[in-house]
Structure 1
Amino acid sequence: MPSAKDKVLMGLGGAAGAGILAWRTMFPWLGYDLELMKAGKKTTAEISSDIQNRRFAIDMFEEQAANYPLDTMLIFENRTYSYQFMNTQACKVANIAMTWGLPQGSTVAIIFENEPAFIWTFLGLLKLGLGVAFINNNVRSRPLVHSITVSDAKALITGSGDVLHGAIQEIKNNLDIPIFMSGLSPEDADSTCQSWDDLMFRSPENDICRTVRDSLTILSPCIYIYTSGTTGLPKPAIVNIAKGVGFSKFILFSGMKKGDIIYTTTPLYHSAAVLALFCVMNTGATMLLRRKFSATHYWADCREHGVTIAQYIGEICRYLLAVPKDPQDGVHKIRNMIGNGLRKDIWLEFQQRFKIPKIIEFFGATEGTSAMININGRLGACGRVSPLLNKLTPSKTFIVKYNPETEQPYRNKQGFCEECKIGEAGILIAGIPIIYAQGFYKGGKEVNEKKTLRNVFEKGDAYFNFGDLLYKDSDHFLYFKDRVGDTFRWKGENVSTNEVANVLTGLDFIQDANVYGVQIPGQDGRAGMAGILLKDGVEFTDDMLAKIYQHCQRNLPNYARPVFLRFIKEMALTVTFKQRKVEAVKEGFDPAKVSDPLFSISAKDKTYVPLTMDTLPQILQSKL
């Protein structure tokens, strides 16, 4: 028989259960919140503990190297790299960099393809408390010079290979910092480029005492990851030490732990790969890294190496579905896949064909002040923002009404923004915590102010503007709708229309270029299209097409090169002398709607070829 005390406790428990049941009846979405809060409880506690105990990203790595030296940290091209080996290489890097005498917080830029040297070079610089600028290895010419100089880098370390060597040789005279080049023999070194391999060969393996980093704070720089915005040139988004600690916990939502193997095919300079790398260092897990994504080898890689967690971006999933079906499609050890950009139209097909137990979709931005995640499995959703979650987070998130004419948030008569209703698409904004005291980007007040929305709901408040259109359903799940303004997404990258236009107008026969993104049936994102206005008195000739192709190939990364060209007779402008894009976007590349000459890119012919009603079906079937 239960005692009187037990009866009281049983009564209280029953009352609490009835209370929760009543709340769930009133707010049927509450169960989704509770599931997310349970999953995030450990993550939140670990972030707080690590910051308080100064267990930063580099400390996590050194901890794993000390406690589990022979465990595998990295698998690359069928070779395994232990934590001990990676630490030894990182120590060599640190001992080289120590001779430069750079103050803590200084920046060193690195440009590598996906390879182990990228990681140990980065870790070696972190050992000294230096910030590291991750340069996109696809960038060339002026944008490459800009990326390096805007970071205020005091030195540049490059990877090996003719492609990277050629890119650096082209711009080295525009840099006034020392350049250290991998794959360069001492005999081929000169006053502008030194042999990094020679320095690594001669560098001692002595470890660096962590007390060297005692002066670091949570606001000290860790990484600069580049993003493309309306300024037209890459901007270095600040990932400070506090944000780095947050990065190290994010994939814990997937249940990642020691013994897991996570598969990363995105570039290491991309924030998606950084999330994986930092979570590997935090847990002591293993990363399977590929130099470049391959749809035909993807599942074989997963089976061969026992992958348990896989990353994706939406385009990766679509490419995998495009591969012919195979009886072994669902043969793997993957527990879940985590990433962003998986569209609703292929979500279920992808999950069922490849037998993925769970898909975890998230939404965020490298420079963003908040991130949303869908651990509940809601089809097509990229996260949650409910009234309860907004009460608990330090960075409250809202979707506000949007004015498509001004491409800015709508303001009411009082001058304030208004929240969107359920199902209504609007601009996503989020509060700005103290860790963003130095801004979202390196580069001063002006570039940061463009992403800051002020006097939103009351005078004096401030929010980060994601520049994306999203909407919520009745259960407060979020869904991505589109991008706002002068940036669109193609092949998983943000493309700046201004950057592309500036490159095109570098040709002596082009007066102006109106660049925008157009939708292609069955493709994620928007493909680049450029309305070309020739200079007065210049007549169109076929050789212009090859010149445009070659010029874009030299000066733009692959994803930013226009897929379509439209030769226009005059530039359509608004009353404020801004290029009109709305009508052009609606017309797209449809020859039935566009009377101007149209052309599409041809990698095979290394030029642009005529786009007509007759050639349109063939172009749509191609890989573009």
Structure 2
Amino acid sequence: NKVWSDCSVHLLLLIKNLFGLFFFFFSLFFLQDLWILNEKNMMEMYLLSIILASILIIPFALKTFCPYLWVDILYCKDLLRILVKFVSRRRRRPLFFVLDRFLEQTAAHPDKLFIVFENEGYSYKYTDTRSNKTANALQSHPGYKVGDTVALFMGNEPAFMFTWLALAKLGSPVALLNHNIRNKSLLHCFNCCRAKVLIAAPELKEAVEDVLPTLTEQGVAVLLMTKHCDTPGIESFSDKVDEASDSPLPQSLRSHITFKSPAVYIYTSGTTGLPKAAVVSQNRLLTALAVLSSNGVTASDVIYLNLPLYHTAGFIIGFIGSIETGSTIILKRKFSASQFWDDCRKNSVTVVQYIGEVMRYLCSTPRRENDKDHKVRLAIGNGVRAEIWREFLNRFGNIQVKEFYASTEGNVGFVNYAGKVGAIGRVNILHQALFPYTLIKYNTERDEPVRGANGLCVESSKGLLVSKITDIAPFVGYAQNEEQTERKRIRNVLKMGDLYFNSGDLMRIDHDNFIYFQDRVGDTFRWKGENVATTEVSDILTINDCLKEANVYGVQVPGHEGRIGMAAITVNEGAQFDGSKIYNHVVNYLPSYARPRFIRIQNAVEVTGTFKQMKGKLVEDSFDPGRIQDPLYILDDHEKSYIQLTAEVYRSIISGNIKL
């Protein structure tokens, strides 16, 4: 790098002098007939030529040797602006929270559309009024007291947003439950945040009834967003909301809240066990508000929100982000590739959200003549591969893609502000100063960082992303799970006694200082935009009486983002593998994205000397019948069973004729 730097300096000096001589002789050519040049004039002219050449060469030099300097400067300006906005809001009294920003937007433009859902529009004023009614109805319920944690078990619908705002007005933390979870997982997620009330959507009534006996024993108030419910132990709630007062809630109800108070619990699957409730504090949401004000979205934008509201992306980027900017949300129950662009055209959408899978699904739809006929100018999200990114732009037009990296519980994030295809961000000096982070060498086989003779981690341009835990970048951890919280902390990284957050993500930095996501470490893989904890899936599989052991891992499939679930299992002695029985078991216990698509039957599950299940060779073998002698099965939803995976079926999957 030093040699290259020295050569660059000499080259610039040479070019500058050549430019200077050019201007000098150019001037002589036009002035020679005037016969007014003397030695002093010539020296002044030469110096002037050198100065002019220096000025003209600066843009050329910067573009050649510092091509990202201008975008770096603009990004640093944004960072400083974010910091100033955050600090100014932190100093406001009474304390300023996300709810207060919503109330500001409502006062500024009460009649503006805030949410459009299934051809119905809801203004900021209506949203405010409906949330007041919801809050007043809940405050009157004997099973609730102000400040209690409430769990929301709902899909994407306006009632989700109305209810969250209502609970914010009551000073209650909210647990955002994944509406795909059932039974054991549902109870676990509900209990780990110590919720006192469960508010559920009508379509999830059966899922609630499955766990109702346990909830009743715990004295939980169960409310269903419907006008009538005949199930004992579940009360209708929509009718109470309709009848409640719409009077504003006094600010005194929220006087107990501090910046450290939990605002929401968002569930994430970690390396082991059941989903964990990441604590998102009021301070973190306030930080998100300041950051989202610089993402390029304005009050005139219309945002298409089709990602789940229980997810960080849907809730914070889509919902909370729109509160910050005062935008209009086009809310969709779930993502549909076939309806995506028609919805955008119909509603004059200007901003869309994505995860990697969304981009791929859109690019996989049949081409149409009007693919570029839309008003979308900005796509915000993460997880898109470089080749899909390029295909998306080629097919759907000049859309600015703003790729970012962040995690629900993490204390560092990146934004690809330079627009480099494939990168998640750019290493920046100011960013590094505010949020210290580094990449360290990681032994994926031993599942631990590589340490030097001094006991410290070894920095690398390719390795595990870790970020220092500071007052500016705290790590709050997981509710009621100190063990898992501690697992995400890593000590003695760059010096003895320091403390860092373990992201669990492998990254690399290139020679231009762009950073790229590589893979997840540990026992978690990502499929359909969801993190899947292999230990949780393994535990579910082995409670079936015909299975003895299950080693769960993710395998890659050509043309698909992430890794799909596969399980190497052993069958109990005297038992037979029953494809239909296992199918019914996983459907009853696991959401669709976590169900193992492939099963490999082994005589024994391989383990290490410390009894850790070995996955490396299994991942390498994938689901190829040509290299696996063990029996292989594939989940078939049509047959409602696991059926034998043949070479023909395998070829159809690899060729893309069979979609997973």
Common topology (TM > 0.5) = yes
1:315-464 matches, within 5 Å, as 315-391=357-433, 393=434, 395-421=435-461, 425-434=462-471, 439-464=476-501
The DSSP-based 3-state class of the residue aligned with 1:254 is coil
Shift of 1:209: 1.9
- Whether the 8 Å contact between 2:197 and 2:221 is mirrored in structure 1 is yes
User: How many residues matched?
Assistant: 601
CA distance in 1, matches of 2:229, 2:551: 48
What is the match of residue 550 of structure 1?
584
Instruction: Please say which of residues 305-314 and 104-113 is displaced more in the overlay.
Output: 104-113
Q: Does 1:527 align with 2:568?
A: no
Q: 1:187 to 1:326 in 2, by over 3 A?
A: closer
Residue 11 (structure 1) aligns with: none
Q: Helix, strand or coil for the counterpart of 2:558?
A: coil
Give aligned-pair identity as a percent.
Answer: 40
The partner residue of 1:472 within 496, 503, 509 is 509
**Residues 224-373 of structure 1 mapped to structure 2, 5 A cutoff:** 224-274=265-315, 275-373=317-415
| Conserved 8 A contact 2:410-2:475 | no
1:301-332 deviation line (CA, Å, top 9, x unaligned): 11111111110001000000111111111111
What's the counterpart of residue 195 of structure 2?
A: 153
Q: Give the aligned partner of residue 621 of structure 2.
A: 587
2:650 — aligned with what? 616
Is there any run of 5+ residues in structure 2 with no aligned partner, and where? 1-52
Seen in structure 2, the aligned counterparts of structure 1 residues 505 and 384 have a Cα distance that, compared at 3 Å, is same
- Aligned-residue offset at 1:24: 8.8
Deviation at residue 26 of structure 1 after TM alignment: 7.5
The answer (yes or no) to whether the contact 2:416–2:423 under 8 Å persists in 1 is yes
Which segment drifts farther, 146-155 or 61-70? 61-70
Paired with 1:470 and 1:560, the residues of 2 have a C-alpha distance of 25
Q: CA deviation at 1:413?
A: 0.7
Q: Work out the CA distance in 2 between the residues paired with 1:347 and 1:602.
A: 31
Runs of 5+ unmatched residues, structure 1 = 1-13
- Structure 2 CA distance, aligned partners of 1:77 and 1:491? 24
Contact 1:189–1:195 (Cα < 8 Å) also in 2 = no
Letter of the structure 2 residue corresponding to residue 492 of structure 1: G
Describe the superposition over 1:137-166 as per-residue Cα deviations: whole angstroms up to 9, x where unpaired. Answer: 0000100000000011011111112xx111
Counterpart residue identity of residue 591, structure 2: P
CA distances 1:39-85 after superposition (whole Å, capped 9, x unpaired): 43433322222222233111111222222111100011111111111
Q: Distance in 2 between matches of 1:19 and 1:445?
A: 55
- Report if the CA contact (8 A) 2:546-2:576 is conserved: no
Task: Specify the alignment match of 1:201 in structure 2.
Answer: 242
Is residue 486 from structure 1 mapped to residue 523 from structure 2 by the alignment?
A: yes
Letter of the 2:328 partner, please give it: T
Distance 1:496 1:339 in 2: 23
Q: CA deviation at 1:335?
A: 1.6
Residue 31 of structure 1: CA displacement? 3.9
Q: How far 1:186 moved relative to its partner? A: 4.5
Q: Give 1:506's aligned residue.
A: 543
Match of 2:90 among 51, 72, 82: 51
TM-score, normalization by structure 1:
0.92
**SS of residue paired to 1:359:** strand
Aligned twin of 2:263: 222
Deviates more, 1:487-496 or 1:594-603: 594-603
Conserved in 1, the CA contact under 8 Å of 2:409 and 2:475?
no
C-alpha distance in structure 1 between counterparts of 2:186 and 2:303, whole Å: 31
Give the conservation status (yes or no) of the 8 Å contact 2:143–2:220.
no
Q: Which residue of 2 aligns with 1:9?
A: none
Distance in structure 2 (CA, Å) of the matches to 1:331 and 1:503: 47
- SS state of the match for residue 368, structure 2? coil
Give the distance between the partners of 1:75 and 1:136, measured in 2 at CA.
Answer: 22
What's 1:118 paired with? Answer: 160
The answer for the alignment partner of 2:3 in structure 1 is none
Aligned alpha-carbon RMSD (Å): 2.3
Residue 213 of structure 1 corresponds to 254
Question: Is the CA contact 1:336–1:356 (under 8 Å) kept in the aligned structure 2?
Answer: no
Worse-superposed segment, 165-174 or 48-57: 48-57
**How many angstroms does 1:265 deviate by?**
0.7
Structure 2 residue identity aligned to 1:553:
V
Separation of aligned partners in 2, 1:153 and 1:17: 66
The residue identity in structure 1 corresponding to 2:221 is I
State the match for 1:170 in structure 2: 210
Distance 2:472 2:570 in 1: 45
Determine if contact 1:511/1:534 at 8 Å carries over to the other structure: yes
Matched to 2:496, the amino acid is K
Matches of 1:155 and 1:437 in 2, distance apart?
Answer: 29
8 Å contact kept, 2:143–2:197: no
Corresponding residue for residue 177 of structure 2: 135
Change (3 A) 1:513 1:586: same
DSSP-derived class of the 1:143 partner: helix
Offset of 1:28 from its aligned partner? 5.8
